[in-house]
Amino acid sequence: MPDVPAWLSTKFDAKTVAKRAAEFVGNMDARHPGLVETLRDDPLEALAQFGEVTFTLSAHQQSGKCSVLGSYTTFTDPPTISVTRRGQGQTWFSALHELGHHEQQGDFAWTVALDTIDDERRRGRLEEQICEAFAAEILLGADVVDEIIGDDIPTAKSIADLHHATGASRAACAVRVLQLLRAEGLVMVATLEGEVLFSTGSGDVFAPKKGTVQPPDSVVARAADAGTSSSRDASVMYGTGRQQHGFAADAVRDDDYVYAVFTAGKPGWVTGFYASKNLYWGSAEHDCRCGATFTRGAEAYCETCNRGDTCPECGVCACAPEPVRDLTCTDCFMVWPTSHYLPGGTVCQGCRED
């Protein structure tokens, strides 16, 4: 039985995860000299040629546990990596993330060591974190990161800087910035509507799953509007509809994307006194406007926000805007309750009868 690394039984910080991922990349290159180089140039081409896995690319979205649009399975022989085709950067990152699962699951001593982590979710989170670092290690070398960021304090803008300077995928740039943070935390790439495209955390900090929409009062939404936003008391919305509070956060808009960094302790960009808060979960209860109270994390996921926030009584999601209660009649220009109109109509009952 191989020795269990001490860091596995305690906290696994982003730097340790990065180091372990670099070892996996090194092992792979030792087995297949030159492979890492070809993976860096074009992972899709290199994986198509790679004999250890069957590699499939498809247009359909895969559902799976991964933070990326892809999956890895050992139910086939050889194992299969499936990736959803999106923009080049995203597709490349997804493919290399899945190769990270292959490297880990093919390393017997490592799987035995992982199995010593009793908490299954924690085990899964560590494997995911190593996959992210593995993909970033191949796509964006540590020496390049050092050249661009240098001694700068890592912020959300660092993700944009890395992306613009290297063209590496946004996810790879986000992972590299996560590794530079002084505190545990998470990084996020989101749309201007606040939808999470990619997120990953360090240590025991949960990252929200892709597709989860961050609420209008979050730093993500504020940066989408104003260009930048930071907060000493920020929240992250998760797919269950619950929020986690107590983060420090920094977010920046970059063209059609928002990058955000959340830390669970004093971040580098805050100078002077900072009262570190413990992260804490918001209430799981939600009061629906229909009068019902329900527990968030429902089975039914909403297509608008991707959260499990749907009221079991009335079927309306917590993200739904307040219904319009009054309408101005286009005939008399008076304001009447919606009950005075036909469904979809704009002329009030009084005017219709005149």
Residues in the site for Zn ion, rule: CB under 5 A?
66, 128, 131, 288, 290, 292, 302, 304-305, 311, 313-314, 317, 319, 329, 331-332, 348, 351
Q: Which residues contact 57 (CB under 8 A, 6 or more apart)?
A: 44, 82, 83, 84, 85, 91
Identity of the residue, 43 or 267, whose beta carbon is nearer to Zn ion in the bound complex:
43
User: In whole angstroms, how far apart are CA 17 and each of 21, 235, 285, 292?
Assistant: 6, 25, 35, 44
Which residue lies nearer to Zn ion by CB, 164 or 352? 352
Identity of the residue, 30 or 332, whose beta carbon is nearer to Zn ion in the bound complex: 332
Minimum distance, C-beta of residue 314 to Zn ion, in the bound complex (Å): 3
- CB of 276: closest distance to Zn ion in angstroms? 30
Nearest residue (CB) to Zn ion, 182 versus 289: 289
Say if residues 121 and 204 touch (Cβ distance below 8 Å): no
Comparing CB distances to Zn ion, the nearer of 205 and 311 is 311
Q: Which residue has the tokens 């009950």?
A: 339
CB of 309 to Zn ion, least distance (A): 6
Render the burial of 56-70: b for 16+ CB within 10 Å, e for the rest. Answer: ebeeeeeeeebbbbb
Minimum CB–partner distance for residue 227 and Zn ion (Å): 26
Task: Assess contact for 267 and 176: CB atoms under 8 A.
Answer: no
Q: Which of 178, 184, 180, 217 is nearest to 198 (CA)?
A: 178
C-beta of 61 vs 276, nearer to Zn ion: 61
CB of 89 to Zn ion, least distance (A): 17
Residue environment code for 73-96, b if the CB has 16+ CB neighbours within 10 A, otherwise e: eeeeeebbbbbbbbeebbbbbbbb
In the bound state with Zn ion, the residue whose beta carbon lies nearer, of 154 and 308, is 308
Smallest separation, CB 203 to Zn ion (Å): 17
d(CA 317, CA 189): 24
Cβ at position 157, least distance to Zn ion in Å: 27
- Starting at the edge strand that comes first in sequence, how are the strands of the sheet with 54-58 ordered? 54-58, 80-84, 70-73
